[in-house]
């Protein structure tokens, strides 16, 4: 197993891409902190699937530094180290910019961007002490494409990619790798709720003519946290079926 005895924190791991990443890393031997904000039952189901000796669920809002700090302390108390951080937690709150409220703007920035900052900062000292670590930030093709009604979301993800590059330069000396993955349209609750005509419109934009699967994003995350990615630093990998080509 590629990740035997490694310890990974996966934020927003109760469903979707985060869940797929948590399950795949666990299948490769990693011990997993299944972070969630509100969906405790779903997170506990992920823990049960992995096994209670190999996973624990921890409630923390990533936009709240004190809750992130508690999660880091509990992880270190439980397993003594942190090798991998997957910053997946995120929210969407679409509205055209002209009618977007201050709160609708700020909440998305707080969770999607400041949340990543909080988690990266919180694990940095431990990873520097270990002189090793892998961080993967889940971005979005919205960072480079922009989408109607997603000024807040696109800005948060573009900022995340800037953070990734800057932090990668700061941490390279300590054998700490920071990269991003930018998924396109991935099968999710959000996609499932779309009207069929809207789905067809989106599919026409994708050269591969299908939506991606959470497991396909997870495979890239696994690659980035293994030695196979030993010369990849500060990059964003598109997992989008060709939509940004």
Which DSSP string do the residues of 131-150 spell out, in sequence order? T-EEEEEE--THHHH--TT-
Q: What pLDDT does 43 receive?
A: 96
Average pLDDT over the chain reads 94
Would you mind telling me the total number of residues written for the chain in this entry? 245
Q: What pLDDT does 171 receive?
A: 97
Q: What pLDDT does 245 receive?
A: 85
User: 7-239: which CATH architecture?
Assistant: 3-Layer(aba) Sandwich (3.40)
For residue 154, pLDDT beyond 80: yes
For residue 31, pLDDT beyond 90: yes
**What's the pLDDT tens digit per position in 106-136?**
999 999 999 999 999 999 999 999 999 999 9
For residue 146, pLDDT beyond 90: no
Phi-psi region at 213: left, alpha or beta (left = phi > 0; alpha = psi -120 to 50) = beta
Q: What pLDDT does 167 receive?
A: 97
For residue 189, pLDDT beyond 80: no
Question: Is 153 an annotated catalytic residue?
Answer: yes
| The 133-138 sheet, strands edge to edge | 55-59, 31-36, 7-10, 84-87, 133-138, 176-183, 236-239
For residue 99, pLDDT beyond 90: yes
**What's the pLDDT tens digit per position in 43-82?**
999 999 999 999 999 999 999 999 999 999 999 999 999 9
For residue 190, pLDDT beyond 90: no
H helices present in 38-150, as ranges? 40-50, 65-79, 102-109, 115-130, 142-145
56-71 b/e with 16+ CB inside 10 Å = b? bbbebbbbbbebbeeb
Helix (H) or strand (E) holding 159: helix 151-171
Q: How much is the average pLDDT of 161-167?
A: 97
What pTM does this model have? 0.94
Q: What pLDDT does 29 receive?
A: 96
Which residue(s) pair with 212 in the sheet? Answer: 186
Q: How much is the average pLDDT of 185-205?
A: 81
């Amino acid at each position: 197993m590629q990740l035997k005895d490694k310890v990974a924190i996966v934020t927003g791991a109760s469903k979707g891409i985060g869940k797929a990443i948590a399950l795949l890393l666990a299948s490769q031997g990693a011990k997993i902190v299944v972070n969630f904000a509100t969906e405790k039952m779903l997170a506990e189901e992920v823990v049960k699937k992995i096994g209670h000796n190999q996973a624990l669920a921890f409630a923390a809002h990533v936009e709240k530094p004190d809750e992130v700090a508690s999660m880091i302390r509990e992880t270190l108390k439980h397993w003594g180290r942190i090798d991998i951080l997957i910053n997946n937690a995120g929210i969407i709150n679409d509205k055209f910019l002209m009618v977007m409220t201050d709160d609708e703007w700020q909440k998305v920035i707080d969770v999607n961007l400041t949340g990543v900052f909080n988690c990266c900062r919180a694990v940095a000292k431990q990873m520097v002490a270990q002189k090793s670590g892998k961080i993967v930030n889940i971005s979005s093709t919205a960072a480079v494409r922009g989408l109607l009604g997603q000024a807040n979301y696109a800005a948060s993800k573009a900022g995340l990619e800037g953070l990734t590059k800057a932090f990668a330069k700061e941490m390279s000396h300590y054998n700490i790798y920071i990269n991003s993955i930018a998924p396109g349209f991935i099968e999710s609750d959000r996609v499932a709720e779309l009207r069929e005509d809207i789905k067809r419109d989106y599919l026409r934009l994708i050269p591969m003519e299908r939506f991606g699967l959470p497991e396909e994003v997870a495979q890239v995350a696994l690659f980035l946290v293994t030695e196979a990615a030993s010369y990849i630093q500060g990059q964003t990998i598109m997992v989008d079926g060709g939509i940004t080509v």
